[in-house]
Structure formats: C-alpha cells, structure tokens
Structure 1
Amino acid sequence: MRPFLFIFFAFSLLSCYQMSSDSIVEGTLEVPENRNDPNSRSLFLKYKVLKALSPDSLKAPIVYLQGGPGGATLIMEKYFLEHPLRKDRDIVLMDQRGTGESSAICTDLGQSVFELMRQNLNLTENVKATQALLASCKKYAENNNVDLAGYNSRENAADFEDLRKSLGYEAWNIHGSSYGTRLGLTFMRDFPGGIRSAVFAGVLPIESGDLASKVLNIERSLDLVFENCTSNPNCHSRFPDLKNRLKTVLTTLDETPWHLKYKGNDFVLNAHDAFSLIILQLYDRRTIGQIPSFIEALENKDTKPIVHSLQGYEPFIGMVNIAMHYSVMAYEEFPFSPMEKIDEAIKNAHFKNAYASTLPFYEIIADWHPYRAAPIENEAVVSDIPTLLISGEFDPATPPFDALSTQKHLVNGYAVVFENESHHFSNPCLTQIITDFIDSPFQKPNMDCSSKVAPIPWDLERQNP
C-alpha cells in the first residue's frame, strides 16, 4: 500500500562551466535555499546545456521544466540529444532544487515507500510506517539545516530566472510537462520579461489546487477506457463489463490480499496496490491498451502481468524525490483543499475501496511542514506570452479541460487535444506542432494531425505477448 503521487533578497550566483564536449556545457548554479531569509544557506543546482546541432544558430534556446513535483531532469539528456528541437536551438536542462543532483535529500525514500507497498500492512500499520519514514527524513533535514520553506514553485521559478541570467540568454522558450507546467505558469507570472514563448504538455493550472479533483480525474479517465473498449467490438467481446469486474476484483483484494513473488521476495498485493498499478497504466496509450487484460489477470491471479507492471512502477516511484514532492504539495495544494471535499469525492467514487488510504496520506503530507502558500498561488495566471497548451484525451492527471481553463487567461494561448493519447506521449505530429509554434509563436500552428492518432491498441491476448 502506498500514497498516491500525483506526477515559490538578494542572491549570489556561482556558474562553474565544464566543457564535457564541444556540444554539451555542464555547470553548477548557486542559489539561496530561501530568498526570504537573508541568512539562507546555499543550494547547488546541476545543469547541462545541449548546444544546438547547427553551430551557427542564433535562435532562442529551450529550457525544459520537468514534472513531479520532484522529478529529476538531467536523466532526460539522452532523450533530447537527438531531438528535432535541438537542430537549431540550445536545450537547457537543470535538476530542480531538491531533485536529482541538485541538493536532494532522502533520495532513498521512494524505494522505502515501495518496500512498504510489498508488505501485508493494514491501513493503520501502513500509516504508522510511513510516518516513521517521513519522521526520519525530517530529522535528517533538521540536522542538516534544510529549510523546507524553500521547496516550492515560487523559489523553483526564481532558480530558472537566475540560470537564464547566468547563461547570458536574453530570452528563452520554456517547455514544461505536468508539474512543469505549473512551474512554467509561475515563471510566466513572476519573470515574464525573459520568456519568448511557452509550450506546456499536460497542463496543471495554478488555480487547480484542489486535491479532490485528483480523484475525479482518475475516475474520468477510467470511464473513458471502459467506454472506448465497449465501443470497440473486439475489445467489448473479449472483455465485457469491465467496470463491474474491476469493482469486484478490488473488493476481493480488499478482503483477501494476494500473496505473490516479486524479484524472489514476498509481495502482498491489496486493492490499493492494484489500483495504483492501473493508475500508472492510464498515463500512456500503450499501457491503456493493457488495462482490460490486467483486470483479467487480477481475476485469474495470473502473476506475470502483475510482475511486469511492478517492474515499471518500482523505478517510477524511485525517480521522484518524495521529500520535494511532499514539500510542494503541502505548500501549494493543502491551503486550498478542504479535507471534507476530498472525503466527499472518495465517497462518491466508483472504486472507493481503492481510495481508502488516500485521506490519511493527504493528512500525513499536510504534516510534512507547516508552510502554506499565499492566496496568489491559487489564482489563475494572466499573460500575453504566446503559449501552446497540449493535452491527451485520456490523461488521468491533467485532463484537457484544465488546459482549456488555462487558455481563457492567456491572450495568445493555443490549445490542442490529441485523441487517443494520455499524459505521456510523443509522436511526429506533436513534434511538428511544437516546432512550428516555437518558430512563429504569434501564429497559430496547423494542428489538424492531432485528430488522426491511431486507436488505442487493445491487448486482446495477454499482458505481455
């Protein structure tokens, strides 16, 4: 069992340049941990600049804002090395404060949470075990003078503005995904002068600080999966009545968890664990196609598909720095999320037994630190910066209506929804739209290809053919 991970004075700058090759510049940026504290300690943030493949290009660079919150960024280097966007623009990557190689703490916390997931703990036991893990991390933070008040989107955005100035860029294009879009909107609000254009994929509006919506968004995405399967004759014939079958198997796992082997060790799968694996599958069209066969595997206690999903989930949770994740959530989400509203959303959910631990874990995160955002952190960003807003139809975390809501406040905002895609996707159509937009940000790009994505590839045989 585990908590859902859903994926703000004066300063000194230290830019340590190291040329690892003619095409990649590595460096370290020194920033204050808390710009509101004149005695703040320093953080050291690692960055890389992947120089444009066209050496004479003078086009404005692109800085990538990773999701999470808490996701590492430098691990994206290989993805961007040969990316078409790098053809004539520098790509700037920096591990955000508290993530990756940038003054991160409690880096083993994600793996520890996964180890709790494999145990046969009831809700009370799991909450206590999680509290113990977080207490140990908080003790480490206190002993090392870590100021948890400094880990939020406002400070994060200020880091990137400092980086822009340090690198000498007059202006750049920001490219954010998931939480990176919320960070990007904060950046646009606080430091608009250095931003030429913005590309946001999987839009998380600043004003959407309502944790109850997380439950509603997951339910919406699952309903789309069930409706899509039902409308496909082959999927419907092979996997009828999926919603009720999922309800039944989750009830069974809630009453009698399934004991299985994972990497040679015992693993106890309960309803919450199984539902967590399904949520992760909702993030990509390829794994969406496996959800019906995954539900069938749960019914039949077919171990292979479950182990395969765990092999994807374990590194995923390890990539997110949970200390940073919880810090941002406690600061930016909790002040604007009444617990009663979250409780009501769970009570009205189709799969309420799978959300049983959600409310207690939100309360745990709320206790992580006492710092809370000002009302401005729940107000829509109004801007005339050209912005491209990208959504996937099935997205369980940042549904298309979040992007459309954000667009209302952006004078030069363009929104595109990709059919049959979800939270994570990349295709030639998307790349072309982004390229065209960044080249001419005040002109709406041709987005017709977004409606021509192939249907969901349903796995009608088994999880891993």
Structure 2
Amino acid sequence: MAVIAAVTPAKPAQAPVVFMAGGPGADTFDDIPFLVDSGLNKDRELIIMAQRGNLYDQPDLACPEIDRSNAQAVGLGYDAQEAEQLFLKAVKDCRDRLTADGTDLSAYNTTQNAADFADLRTALAIPEWNVYGYSYGSNLALTYLRLHPEGIRAVAIDSVAPPQVVTLPWTWGSTAEGIDTIFDACAAQPACKDRYPDLRRTLTEQVRKLEARPLTLNVPPPSGGKPVKVVLDGGALLNLIVAFTPRPKDIPAALEELANGNPERFAKARAAGSVQKVGEFAHGLTNSVACSEWAPGYSEPDVLKAGRKAFPGWPDTVLAQVPQLPFQYPACGIWDVADRASVQRVATVSSVPALVISGTFDVKTGASWAKGVARNLSGSTDIQVPGIGHWVVPQSPCAQSVLASFFARPTAPDTGCVDGLEPEPFTIIPR
C-alpha cells in the first residue's frame, strides 16, 4: 500500500481518493505516475493498494511461465495449435507451482477484493473516502459499492466493465462497437474519408487475407534490439487493434499501408510482445477472476456465435478466440476454480454520487455499456469523451477536469468541457 500526499495541503476533513486498478492482474504501483499526472492527488491524498495476488503481495499470483510463453507466441499464428499448447502448458505449470505452496486459487475474486478495500478503510480509520477505478477496477468499484457502501463519499468509474454483463462472449460486442466508432469518426472527417473511404471493407479483407496466408517477418521491437520472428495473421491483426497498437488515430493509415503491402506498423507492434516483463503481471489473478466470474454459463460455441454477430463473414478461426484472452476456456479447465457467476453478475443499485466516464474509441469496454450502469446509480453523471480509448482520464485533460470537479462537488460536477469535443484528426498518409 502507498499513500501519495496532496500537492496542495488538504483540509483535515477532506476525504482521500482510493484507486482500483485494471486487469485484473496489472501492477497497481505502475499506475501511480499516470494518476499523479492526472491530478488525482492535487488537493487530497491518493491511496494505492494492490489487489490481492498482485505484485508485491504474498502470495503473488504472477505466472512467469505465461510471460515466457507469450513472448514465444509472437512467432506463431495467433490461434495456432502450437500457440495453444504452449500457453496451456504455461497455465498448468503456473497452477501447479502456486497450488503446491498451498495457495487457494478460488480465494482470488472480486468479492474478496472488495472486502479487502473495506478492511483497508477501517484499518486506516478513514471516516469516508472517494473511489476511482478503471476497467476491471470499475467492476471492482461497483462490487465494493454494492457490498460495502459504508464510508463511500463518491465513486468515479472509468472505462466501465459492468459486473452484471461481463462474460467472455460479451467482449466481442465491445470490440465491434469501438472499431465501428473509430471508423465512423474517420468518415466524419473529410480528409480521412477521402483518403480511407471504406475502412470496414479494408479491415475485413486484411483479416481474411492474413488468416488464409499469414505473413512471417523479422522485425525489431519498437523498443529496439535484434529483429525477432513474428507471424501476422488475422487474429493477431484484430488483437493489435484491440490493444491500440497502433494508436486509434493511426489505425486507418496502418490499415491502408497493410493493404498496400507494407505491414511494418502492425509487425513492429506484434514484435513488442516478444519483450515481456517477466513476473510483473499477475496472470493467476486474471485466470481466477475470468474463470470464476466471466466464463461460467457460456462456452466456446457461445464465443464464436458472438464473434459472428459482431463481424459477419470473418473467419471462424479468428472469431473463436476471445479478444485479448485466447484459449481461455481450456485454460479455465486447467485453472479449476469455483463458479461465482451468480454472486458476481449482479447490478449495483445505489444513490451514492457517481461519475461514469467512457471513451468513444474504447474497444475493450464499449462506451454504450456504461449507460445501463448509470441508470442504476440515481446520483450519477454519465459522460462520453469523443476520440479517447480505454482508460480515459490519463488521456483527456477534459476528463481530468470533470473528475476534479466531481470530487469537489459530487452532486454537481462541471461537465462543460465535454460539450463540443471532437476526435483529433486521423493520420493521413500521402498518396
């Protein structure tokens, strides 16, 4: 745990902000620079606590085995049998190592995470505090608000993953929504529309082409170093877009270059995966949450069905894999944790003041899903920031301003800067 002092000395009664990170499994302390740069501690303390199982916790649910398999996988087809075997062996090796030490993998879930934060407030003797969470942290914040509302002054959630709807098939709808919004924004800018007149067709053609005939290339990672072998197929292309590599403003240009025989932007982004920070990401926490809360009640055919609905006509080999979570169902068969879907997939209904923040270019947690959450929060303010992707606040000075005004006046935040905002111009490559 860390407490970041307020830049401007706060009044004694001013409630601090507690942060809930995304993932699940990301190193919470890595996010501190983004939070400080976003002004979260401008006039109140910022409290940081890693979720159970993260880096520096005991036990730490890191899986170096998975990090190493992911680094190797860039040289294989995204959905290739060899990639699956490599990944599943890493999952088994990690599980075997953790459980040999007596770790109960079913004890790592959102309910327990929420209870930990409730215990933290009590331990620190804080009468009330503000909560800010993004991505999975929004899911955790909503669960925390539902189960432990006492002492919560206000809740801000960013890039919302609603507990009641998040499942593995659900991810396809978010992916399609975000990509469609990016393409629509290009069509609304005359220069972009003129240069890239049919991005949907271009993307579909490239996914089909690469899935049928993957490219094998040797390229250096963006961080430099020796060239590495990468395989760029349809699944890899789609997942690079979901990961925002390249950035949304560069996606039309990158697709145009790819269609004209220049795959460099995507290939270098794929090569970045060969440089893994071994042991820093808690893949074990990801698996414990995904397998107990997101996977139950659905199956691999349900993922494929959702993919076909989102992207009609795309190859089944691409659509069969959950975006960003390939081979998750067989991985869950290995991870073997208790089904918690019925206790976790519950909407949070509350009158506690809430700020719901979404980016229109978010392809991981589609902006439209936040509206359903906001309807259940009677004291909520719901904003969508145009042209911003996943985790809005660090990317948007306007969102930072709204968040600051919300914590100052939770029932009447100033959202005026959102009016009239438009996505920045897309990158235009010369003809």
> 1:413: Cα distance to partner?
1.5
Which residue is equivalent to 1:350? 312
Alignment of 1:87-166 (within 5 A): 87-103=42-58, 104-108=60-64, 109-120=66-77, 123-166=80-123
Unaligned runs of 5+ in 2: 221-226
Render the CA deviation track for 1:34-74: whole Å, top value 9, x for unaligned.
xxxxxxxxxxxxx1101122345321100110011111111
> 1:289: Cα distance to partner?
1.2
Which residue is equivalent to 2:287? 326
> 1:277: Cα distance to partner?
0.7
| Inter-partner Cα distance in structure 2 for 1:102 and 1:242 | 45
Render the CA deviation track for 1:171-216: whole Å, top value 9, x for unaligned.
1101000110110011111211121110111111110133222112
Which residue is equivalent to 2:204? 247
Shift in alpha-carbon separation, 1:307–1:420, aligned structure 2, 3 A: same
| Inter-partner Cα distance in structure 1 for 2:387 and 2:77 | 37
Q: Which has the higher contact order (CA 8 A, sep 6+)?
A: 2
> 1:100: Cα distance to partner?
2.2
Residue of structure 1 aligned with 2:269, choices 299, 303, 309: 309
Q: Secondary structure at the match of 2:120?
A: helix
| Inter-partner Cα distance in structure 2 for 1:333 and 1:164 | 28
Alignment of 1:36-435 (within 5 A): 47-55=1-9, 57-58=11-12, 59-81=14-36, 83-103=38-58, 104-108=60-64, 109-120=66-77, 123-263=80-220, 264-281=227-244, 287-310=247-270, 320-348=281-309, 349-350=311-312, 352-353=314-315, 354-358=318-322, 361-367=327-333, 368-373=335-340, 375-425=342-392, 426-435=395-404
What residue identity is the alignment partner of 1:459? T
Q: CA RMSD in A?
A: 2.4
Render the CA deviation track for 1:424-459: whole Å, top value 9, x for unaligned.
333232122111111122x23221211332433211
| Inter-partner Cα distance in structure 1 for 2:293 and 2:130 | 25
What residue identity is the alignment partner of 2:251? I
| Inter-partner Cα distance in structure 1 for 2:308 and 2:341 | 30
Unaligned runs of 5+ in 1: 1-46
Which residue is equivalent to 1:445? 413
Q: TM-score, normalised by structure 2?
A: 0.88
Shift in alpha-carbon separation, 1:81–1:406, aligned structure 2, 3 A: closer
How many residues of Structure 1 are paired with residues of Structure 2 in the alignment?
412
Render the CA deviation track for 1:287-339: whole Å, top value 9, x for unaligned.
11111111123223425313442366567897642221111011111224354
| Inter-partner Cα distance in structure 2 for 1:430 and 1:420 | 12
| Inter-partner Cα distance in structure 2 for 1:311 and 1:128 | 20
* Percent identity over paired residues: 26
Render the CA deviation track for 1:142-182: whole Å, top value 9, x for unaligned.
21111101111111111112221222211110100011011
Q: TM-score, normalised by structure 1?
A: 0.82
Q: Is the 8 A contact 1:280 1:313 kept in 2?
A: no
Shift in alpha-carbon separation, 1:347–1:454, aligned structure 2, 3 A: closer
